[in-house]
Amino acid sequence: MKPITILRSRTAVLADANVDTDRIIPARFLTTTVRGGLGRHCFQDWRYLPDGSDNPTFPLNQPAARGCAILVAGHNFGCGSSREHAPWALLDYGIQAVLSSEIADIFRNNALKNGLLAIVVGEAEHHWLLDHPGVELGIDVRRQAIDLPDGSQIRFELEPFARHCLLEGVDQLGFLLQGAKGIDRYERERAA
């Protein structure tokens, strides 16, 4: 994983609450055996009309939303299945951060492990962000702060290990493997 310190982008807003992982990437695209290439199916059944053309009412199809790397999403984003294909699809689509007042547990875990910044902000700040699509933000992982154009900032919580891994590009499997002696010991003691 590449280290991430600061992400700057305008925001796109997807205000619906409870956007589930089936909406993000429908199950029929899960027969892939690789991680890549899911961006073209991200939000497939919402993003396209039945004839395959872009759905003009899908918020991320609006011209102003194109190219935005920060998604401000409705409450409880990413609920439902454990498919890591959801963060893979979002990243491949070009989304590098999701801000919401609540993000489902498994999705948030999966996102952070792939360098997709899944960040929970307070309700008042969430409302403000939902009401201001297109605002230019700077997400600073080290300071755990989102910088707004007027110089103010929104603070956010981030699990310390996830933050460390994002900043240093730490590979979590490598970290676990370093503790192999402890795992050996645990297995020996339990078997005894």
Which of 65, 76, 117, 130 binds other proteins (CB under 8 A)? It is 76
Taking CB under 8 A as the binding criterion, the range among 65-73, 104-112, 129-137, 144-152 that sits at the site for other proteins is: 104-112
Residue 191 interacts with other proteins (CB under 8 A): yes or no: no
Q: Which is nearer to other proteins, 124 or 161 (CB)?
A: 161
Q: Which is nearer to other proteins, 80 or 138 (CB)?
A: 80
**Integer distance in angstroms from the first to the last C-alpha of the chain?**
39
CA atoms of 89 and 108, how far apart (whole Å): 14
Report how far apart, in Å, the C-alpha atoms of 179 and of each of 110, 114, 173, 192 are: 22, 22, 10, 20
If you write DSSP's letter for every residue of 128-160 in order, what string do you get? HHHH-TT-EEEEETTTTEEE-TTS-EEE----H
Residue 28 interacts with other proteins (CB under 8 A): yes or no: yes
Q: Which is nearer to other proteins, 31 or 152 (CB)?
A: 31
CA atoms of 157 and 145, how far apart (whole Å): 9
Binding site for other proteins (CB under 8 A): 15-18, 20, 22-23, 26-28, 30-35, 45, 50, 74-76, 79-84, 87, 102, 104-106, 109-110, 113-114, 159-161, 164, 172-173, 175-177, 179-180, 182-183, 186-187
